[in-house]
């Protein structure tokens, strides 16, 4: 039965009543492209460029960067490719760029866009390599920054992208302050992409890397759902897109709930794409909305899952 559902659901992502939800792939570099294409990804929703920078003693040269970016753009000549600028620090330290001092809580330290504030040269070099790789590419390339907490940071990044000649700049929503004040942040950028892994970590104050608090790392927590809803509503009110690129998008039931909360695209590891495509194809937008409302009316993550499932027949 599972196989039948999967084959019925080939093609672009959409709900049963035809509401389009582009289904994109998360990739770490050109080597992940084959799996993304094989799974029918419509584009790339999260290109984690930090893998170019990790496990080496020096920064990648502008040429190395340009070559990697170009390979990704060429794989999706008619698709959307969302490139995330370097997200180093915390769980991804760079040997050639140690934090300036001791960080007792690296997840709360100089990671993501915060590192660019100290080293704007690294940002400028990356945006420059991206701008050169975009030249001649037919993919719809968009650039986004990780770990943005404030509207000032968002505006600073968007300005840096414009200066580099890149015309679509967005931000990840993965810090609760950015979700709560999403209406301010969407004013200065072109799109949002919600990183549910970090958004959950910071909303519940539960370190992603500490197994003892893993029970709190649950994106089904209604507090996390409320933050997602706030961000998606702000983007929609501004006529802009709000995707999700955290692990939550790979859960077929939660994917329906995200769509019901107004999320406009979903990006995930390639193997999850067929399952999410099938789940969306089996339910209407109205069912997704009802499931989202039921989940958000719950008190615990477990109740939220059950309440959503009750509105989405056929998903287990």
Among 32, 153, 198, 207, binds Mg ion (CB under 5 A): 198
User: Closest approach of Cβ 86 to ligand PEP, in Å?
Assistant: 11
Strands, E, within 108-165: which ranges?
A: 140-145
124 binds ligand PEP (CB under 6 A): no
The phi and psi torsions of 84 (rounded to 5 degrees) equal: -95, 130
Position among 241, 246, 262, 274 found at the interface with ligand PEP (CB under 6 A): 246
Q: Any known ligand binding at 174?
A: yes
- Which 161-180 residues touch Mg ion, going by CB under 5 A? 174
Query: At its nearest, how many Å lie between ligand PEP and the CB of residue 16?
Result: 27
Q: Does the annotation flag 226 for ligand binding?
A: no
Distance (Å, rounded) from C-alpha 274 to C-alpha 10?
8
- Provide the β-strand partners of residue 57: none
70 is in an annotated binding site: no
Count CB atoms within 10 A of the CB of residue 96: 11
Q: Active site includes 245?
A: yes
Is the CB of 37 or the CB of 54 nearer to Mg ion? 54
- Which of 89, 170, 195, 222 binds ligand PEP (CB under 6 A)? It is 195
Strand partners, 144: 84, 170
What DSSP line would sit under 262-281, residue for residue? T--EEEE-GGGHHHHHHHHH
Q: Stretches 61-69, 193-201, 229-237, 255-263: which one binds ligand PEP (CB under 6 A)?
A: 193-201
Instruction: Compute the distance between CA of residue 53 and CA of residue 46 in angstroms, rounded to an integer.
Output: 16
Between residues 166 and 224, which has the closer beta carbon with respect to ligand PEP?
Answer: 224
26 CB-near residues (< 8 Å, 6+ apart)? 44, 45, 46, 48, 245, 267, 268, 269, 270
Instruction: Give 90 or 238: the residue with its C-beta nearer to ligand PEP.
Output: 90
Q: Are strands 80-84 and 140-145 parallel, antiparallel or unpaired?
A: parallel
Catalytic residue among 161, 245, 256, 288: 245
**What residues make contact with ligand PEP under the rule CB under 6 A?**
46, 48, 87, 174, 195-198, 245-246
Binding residues for phosphoenolpyruvate are: 48, 84, 197-198, 208
């Amino acid at each position: 039965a599972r196989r039948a559902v999967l084959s019925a659901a080939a093609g672009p992502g959409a709900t049963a009543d035809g509401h389009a939800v582009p289904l994109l792939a998360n990739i770490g570099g050109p080597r992940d492209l084959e799996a993304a294409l094989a799974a029918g990804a419509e584009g790339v929703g999260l290109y984690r460029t930090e893998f170019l920078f990790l496990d080496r003693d020096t920064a990648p040269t502008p040429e190395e960067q340009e070559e990697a970016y170009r390979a990704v753009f060429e794989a999706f000549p008619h698709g959307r490719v969302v490139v995330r600028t370097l997200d180093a620090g915390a769980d991804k330290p760079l040997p050639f760029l140690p934090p300036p001092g001791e960080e007792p809580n690296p997840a709360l330290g100089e990671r993501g866009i915060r590192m660019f504030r100290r080293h704007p040269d690294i940002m400028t070099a990356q945006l420059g390599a991206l701008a050169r790789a975009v030249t001649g590419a037919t993919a719809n390339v968009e650039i986004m920054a990780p770990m943005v907490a404030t509207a000032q940071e968002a505006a600073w990044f968007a300005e840096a992208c414009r200066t580099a000649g890149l015309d679509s700049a967005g931000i990840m929503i993965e810090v609760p302050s950015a979700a709560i004040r999403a209406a301010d942040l969407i004013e200065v950028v072109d799109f949002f992409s919600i990183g549910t892994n970090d958004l959950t970590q910071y909303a519940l104050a539960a370190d992603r890397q500490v197994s003892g608090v893993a029970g709190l790392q649950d994106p089904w927590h209604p507090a996390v759902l409320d933050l997602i809803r706030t961000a998606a509503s702000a983007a929609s009110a501004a006529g802009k897109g709000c995707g999700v690129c955290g692990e939550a998008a790979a859960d077929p039931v939660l994917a329906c709930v995200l769509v019901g909360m107004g999320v406009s695209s979903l990006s995930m590891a390639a193997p999850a794409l067929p399952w999410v495509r099938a789940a969306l194809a089996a339910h209407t937008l109205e069912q997704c909305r009802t499931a989202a409302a039921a989940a958000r009316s719950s008190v615990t993550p477990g109740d939220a899952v059950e309440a959503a499932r009750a509105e989405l027949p056929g998903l287990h």
